[in-house]
Every structure is written in C-alpha cells, then in structure tokens.
A = this chain, B = another copy of it.
Amino acid sequence: MSQTLKRVGQRTVQFSNPPCIISTATIVGPKEGEGPLAHTFDKVMEDTYYGQKSWEKAESKILEESVQMALQKVNLSLQDIDYLLAGDLINQIICCNFAARTLGIPFFGLYGACSTMYEGLALGAMLIDGGFASKVVAATCSHHNTSERQYRYPTELGSQRPMTAQWTITGAGAFVLASEGTGPRITHATVGKVVDAGVKDPFDMGAAMAPAALDTLVNHFKDTGRGPQDYDLIVTGDLASVGRSVLIQLAQQQGYDLSQNYTDCGVLIFDPSQDTHAGGSGCACIAVVTGGYILNQMKAGKLRRILGIATGALLSPLSVQQGESIPGIAHAVAIEL
C-alpha cells in the first residue's frame, strides 16, 4: 500500500527500471521492400500471399515469423517469454489470434487500430517494470489487401482513392522487452484518450487522428516538463503527409515547434514515386519503421532519445455507415539509450 506511484503529471508513467528493447524483427511486403527503408527490414516478402491460401493467413504467418525471428536474434525460445501482447486491424484480430495459437505464449489480445504497437509496448513495459514478467513480446501486423477488402472496397474493383488516402502497409513487427539486457530502454509512456475532431471521411484519416496525437503529445510534454527540443526525434505513425502537416499546425497553436525534429512513419516508408498518395498506414507501419530504421539509428548512436506516438483511427465500416465520425487515439512511448 505504501508503494509510490510510478507516475508523473496527469497521464504519464515513468518507469522505475526502464524495460529494455533487447530485440526486434521486421517483415514487410514487396511494395514496402521497394521503398526508401528497404535496407532496414529483416525480410521482404516475395509476394503478398507468402505461400498461404489467403491474405489473412499470410498476415498471420508474418506476425508469427516476426516473433520467432526476434527471439532467434537473442537466442531465446518461445518458453522464455511470459506474455505476448498483440493485435491487428482484421475483425476479431484473427491474424494475431491464430499466430498466438502457434506460438503458444500466454496472450493478451489488444485492439488499438494503428496505435496497437505502442499500446503493446506501453503495457508490456508496465508488466515488466511492475514485476509480473521478465520478458514479453509486443507485436502487430497489417496487410494491404486484407485491410482494403475489409474496410474499403473489394480489391478486384480497383477503386480510385483520393489524394488524402493512406496506403495500409503489409508487414509485421515484433519487439522483445526484458527487465535486463542491452539496448534502448522504454522510459515513459503516455496513454491516449479517445479524441474526436468530427472528421467523417474515412479517406482522410491523418486529419482525423492528428488531434489525438496532439492531445497525447501536449500531455506528455506537460507531465514530463519536456518539450520538442528534449528529443532527438519525435515520430508519429501514421498521420502521413496530410496529418503530419495538421499536427505541426495544431502544435504550433499550443506553443510547440515541431518543424525541426518531427517526422511520421507513413511519410518515411514510401517514396512519393510509389504513388501511395498521403503515405503509409496500418498497424505494422510504425512497428516496422520503429523496429528497423529508428532503432538502427539509436544503436548507431545517431539518436539518443526519441518520442514515438502511435495513432489509431477508431472506425469500422459499420460505424461509418451508421453516421459516426472517426475518433482517434494516440499512445506515446519515450525510448532512450
């Protein structure tokens, strides 16, 4: 009862023994493997089916393999992991459920839309720092074709998409967190509230999610006494080019200058020539960009302290059909060397 709360300010957790990211693994689809970050991923799929009978089974398979790959890198086996925290975009998170069946690790299923990777990192770090686990894996996946046919139109239709639309990436990322080890550490987590800016266009999710990112960002700064200048990099995933501009503008109005050291995973993962319109999205986007490019930069000593903010659009085809707007949520995690 006498325990001191590991909290600072209103909304932020400050870990007492910051959990370590001892390993990550990333797998991406063919299109992502042609983008500017190609060299930072562990594996590029040759095709979108990946030897499976459906895109959903392929999505499940890459999640499973990313977890196994992350463990192999540090010579751990599935039995060494206390909990798996994972979720995806597909109805009833079946891709993660079926991967968890094969992996056999005690499993917490999550749903945070594209914020899921950082929801898992925040919770996973709490389970370790709280003394409930010595090692956990947080993971997520998305697949362009499974999302497209579930959220939008049958892929066969070849519908045109407006320029504000984002491209759900195909990929999977797994992070192994441990109480001890070498690697960057998760020092803070600021958990998001659901924020609704009233946007109703499912082809403009960057604008829908930017206010949620702002809310979490501003609260993180207020709670910790930090500002943009205290981070080498602030990275969202995935507001893409439209939402990124909105966030910079909204932050400016609150007195925070993001123009110097802020980027977005949806912007980083594709080259404009790849014709993805506003950029990437999907649970896996921030997962593979953080797990690959950004952590590589940290390990190389080029970045020492980053703030990652994963944003999720909390819509479903049904909620849109019933006239609901698209609220967003954003979870922030500070990672430091």
A92 at interface, CB cutoff 8 A: yes
Q: How far is the CB of A93 from chain B (nearest CB, A)?
A: 5
**Known contacts A3-B17, A94-B314, A316-B94: A191-B108 contact under CB 8 Å:** yes
Size of interface on A: residues with Cβ below 8 Å to B = 65
Once the chains bind, are A180 and B1 in contact (CB under 8 Å)?
yes
Alpha-carbon distance A130/B318, docked complex (angstroms): 37
Segment among A4-12, A168-176, A227-235, A299-307 that sits at the interface with chain B = A4-12
**How does the 8 Å CB contact mask read for A1-37 relative to B, with 1 for contact and 0 for none?**
1011111000101001100000000000000000000
Q: How far is the CB of A282 from chain B (nearest CB, A)?
A: 14
Most buried by B among A5, A104, A131: A131
Q: How far is the CB of A279 from chain B (nearest CB, A)?
A: 22
Once the chains bind, are B83 and A191 in contact (CB under 8 Å)?
yes
Q: CB-CB < 8 A to A192: which residues of B?
A: 106-107
Q: CB-CB < 8 A to A108: which residues of B?
A: 110, 112, 119, 123, 191
Q: How far is the CB of A171 from chain B (nearest CB, A)?
A: 20
- Residues of A286-337 at the interface with B, using a CB-CB cut-off of 8 Å, are 314-319, 322, 324, 327, 329
Q: How far is the CB of A106 from chain B (nearest CB, A)?
A: 4
- Residues of A85-126 at the interface with B, using a CB-CB cut-off of 8 Å, are 87, 89-94, 97-98, 100-101, 104-113, 119, 123, 126
A257 at interface, CB cutoff 8 A: no
- Residues of A26-80 at the interface with B, using a CB-CB cut-off of 8 Å, are 53-54, 56-57
Q: CB-CB < 8 A to A327: which residues of B?
A: 97-98, 101
Once the chains bind, are A5 and B318 in contact (CB under 8 Å)?
no
Most buried by B among A100, A111, A319, A322: A111
Alpha-carbon distance A111/B97, docked complex (angstroms): 10
Q: CB-CB < 8 A to A105: which residues of B?
A: 193
A204 at interface, CB cutoff 8 A: no
Once the chains bind, are A322 and B191 in contact (CB under 8 Å)?
no
Most buried by B among A1, A108, A110: A108
**How often does this chain occur in the complex, in copies?**
2
Residues of A within 8 A of B (CB): 1, 3-7, 11, 13, 16-17, 53-54, 56-57, 82-83, 87, 89-94, 97-98, 100-101, 104-113, 119, 123, 126-127, 129-134, 179-180, 191-196, 314-319, 322, 324, 327, 329
Which 10 residue pairs of A and B lie closest in terms of their CB atoms, listed nearest first?
Answer: A130-B130, A92-B316, A97-B314, A101-B194, A106-B191, A111-B111, A109-B111, A91-B91, A100-B194, A6-B131
Complex A-B: 20 CB contacts under 8 Å: A3-B179, A7-B133, A11-B106, A89-B92, A91-B318, A92-B314, A92-B315, A94-B319, A97-B194, A98-B194, A100-B193, A101-B194, A101-B195, A107-B191, A107-B329, A108-B123, A109-B119, A126-B130, A130-B130, A130-B131
**Additional A-B contacts beyond A87-B109, A94-B315, A107-B194 (20; CB < 8 A):** A3-B131, A4-B131, A5-B132, A5-B133, A6-B132, A13-B132, A53-B322, A87-B111, A90-B316, A94-B318, A97-B314, A98-B327, A100-B193, A106-B193, A109-B110, A109-B111, A109-B329, A123-B123, A130-B130, A130-B131
